[in-house]
Amino acid sequence: MSALSTVAALTASRTGRAEPLATVRHQHLDQRPFVLVPLTLAGEACAPLAALAGTDPDNPTLLTVRQPRDRAERFRFAARLAALLLTYIDECRTESEPYTVGRGKDKEERRRFLRAPQLLVPNGEGIAYVRLLGRLTRLRATEGPYAVDPSVPTLGKWLTWFTDLAEFPDSSALLAMTRMLAAHWVTGQSPSEDSHLPSLLAWIDPPDGSDGARAARDAEDPTVWPPAGPSTDPVFDRTLHEVMTRYDEASDERGREAIGRQIDSELRGQMLPTWQLMWRGVELLRNLPEGGHVPDRWAFDRRLFSDYAEYLDADGRPQARRDHAVGAARRLARLEDAVTRYEAQRAFDDPLVMAEYELTGEAFTGTVTARDENRFIPGARPGSQVWRPTITLRTDDQVGLAVGTEVRSPARPTQKSRILEVHQENGVHMVVLQLEGGFANKRKPPAPPGTLAEAGEELTYTARFPEGMPSSLPSEEDTPWTHGGPPRPYEPTDEDAEETWE
């Protein structure tokens, strides 16, 4: 936690209302996200009990398992979820656009879909549930003694695709509502209490006539606001246990069906409040303007989606039980890369996030007091001269950056600048910056309009800026023998297909 969010939390605890942590939304929010509110049976590793799912806020589809320990029923649940989610995924695969990758001779033109699926779950445990359900279903066989519906393994592969991406901060394919809200608002309660969706939303959007603190406490009552899943409320479980026992013991088909409907309505009642909160959260987040880099990041998600859809059509083997070493190294490299880039992009998109860096001295904001447009310095070749204009900024901030550091400003993100001089004058810092490009390819003065800061302009500079090129590893086929050679893809075994699910 930074001093900035601490101040926000203090303020929130006084006003009884959540305080914004961001001025823009840093995640893509689709026009038509697929919302999934799951419930599981307590005590089991992954026994789906019920789910509310769909893209229509007013019309969720109810899926229930009336006998959660019955294997066939579980796979029927998976098939019904697959019918919903796979249709949604297919709908994203209609229009596409061209894009280019690589540069120079590696330049290549590819196509990506204009849309990609976005899956929203209530909380982090929801993501863990999606991962487990994916692991359980993706390795199943569609023929042989333990055959399941062909949609089941396909569902598993897609769910795994979603959860693999969920670890990357720059992806918006699978998002947990509590995490997304907590990234944009700070409440006057602790982060562990924020993981309860009803309390968190009570702080952000308290009901009329109440304040967040009070509403959040009220929202802890499980009889009014059931847990947002996938775990159920133990007290509700007692009721459910009783009804399920009656279901198992019902003597005739008609009586059983009646009890079955009662199970359905009990479960629906547990999930519906969360379903509504999910859409309330979507609405609140939509009210925030989208950050500048969000479309770029979503374009990358769309590219990954298009690639995976193509892979499933061509090859279609499921993800392995465990990552192999090469895949893990690649994943880690991309993850590290994604984190740094995402953090920098967030700061560039949002002055409130940039303020964190200002506070730690990694960024400063100042006013341009002077500029030297016609400055030339000796170049790399003997006798040559290169055009390097300077600007001088006056700042009240503590400048924690050393002379020689490369910095950039969100105002002109492509202009490479370097700190030439930092000195104090009457208690304020004066920073001289040398500008090394960003003049629309011009190599001598005058600078094209808008490319060189005017005196009086207020600018923020930081050493943390979105780097262009990610680290690169050789492609998987070119893995050298020192690293075990190209990894072999995972072939699901009979054991996988027969794996018990009890």
Partner 1 sequence: MPSQQSEPPDDRLARLRGPRPPQPYTARKITALTANPACARRAVLDAAGVDKALLAQRVGYEPRFGQSPFALAREQAFHSLVKWGGHAELIRLLREELSVPVAEAHVEDLNEVGGNASLPVRERETRRLIAHVASGQDVRLILDSPVVTLEVAGQTAYLEPDALTHRIGGKFYVVLIRSFAAIDGQANPTAVAETAKQAAVYVLALRRIFEDAGLPPEQLAHEFLLVCPKDFSNRPYGRLIDLRQELDALQFQLSRLRRAEDLAEQLPATATLDTDRDTDELASSIETLDASYTPTCLSFCEMARYCRDEADACAAPARLGSGVRNDLPGIDSTRAALDYLDGVAAPGEAEAEAAELLRAADRLRRLRQGAA
Q: Which stretch binds partner 1 (CB under 8 A): 270-278, 403-411, 417-425, 494-502?
A: 494-502
Closest separation in Å from C-beta 187 to partner 1: 9
Q: Which stretch binds partner 1 (CB under 8 A): 109-117, 141-149, 236-244, 432-440?
A: 236-244
Q: How far apart are CA 439 and CA 389, in angstroms?
A: 10
**Could you tell me if residue 178 is left (phi over 0), alpha (psi between -120 and 50 degrees) or otherwise beta?**
alpha
Bridge-based pairing state of the strands 48-54 and 34-40: antiparallel
Cα-trace Rg, the chain: 27
Q: Which stretch binds partner 1 (CB under 8 A): 131-139, 161-169, 277-285, 371-379?
A: 131-139
Q: How far apart are CA 71 and CA 51, in angstroms?
A: 17
In the complex with partner 1, which residue's Cβ is closer, 269 or 485?
Answer: 269
Q: How far apart are CA 239 and CA 100, in angstroms?
A: 57
Residues touching partner 1, count (CB under 8 A): 53
Bridge-based pairing state of the strands 363-372 and 61-64: unpaired
Cβ neighbourhood burial of 231 (10 Å; 0-12, 13-18, 19+)? middle
Chain positions 340 to 399 lying near partner 1, rule: CB under 8 A, are 350-352, 354-355, 358-359
Q: Does residue 193 bind partner 1 (CB under 8 A)?
A: yes
Q: Does residue 45 bind partner 1 (CB under 8 A)?
A: yes
> Among residues 73, 167, 237, 264, which is the contact residue for partner 1, using CB under 8 A?
237
Q: Which stretch binds partner 1 (CB under 8 A): 59-67, 233-241, 264-272, 305-313?
A: 233-241
In the complex with partner 1, which residue's Cβ is closer, 23 or 405?
Answer: 23
Cβ neighbourhood burial of 45 (10 Å; 0-12, 13-18, 19+)? exposed
> Among residues 111, 286, 317, 321, which is the contact residue for partner 1, using CB under 8 A?
321
C-alpha distances (whole Å) from 281 to each of 23, 36, 96, 197 are 16, 14, 30, 9
* Spatial contact of 231 and 48, defined as CB atoms under 8 Å apart: no
Q: Does residue 4 bind partner 1 (CB under 8 A)?
A: yes
Q: Does residue 8 bind partner 1 (CB under 8 A)?
A: yes
* Spatial contact of 43 and 237, defined as CB atoms under 8 Å apart: no
Torsion over CA: 202, 162, 306, 75 (sign): negative
Q: Does residue 500 bind partner 1 (CB under 8 A)?
A: yes
Q: Does residue 270 bind partner 1 (CB under 8 A)?
A: no
**Which spans of this chain sit near partner 1 (rule: CB under 8 A)?**
1-11, 13-14, 20, 23-24, 41-46, 132, 135-136, 188-193, 220, 222, 232, 234-235, 237-238, 240-241, 321-322, 350-352, 354-355, 358-359, 499-502
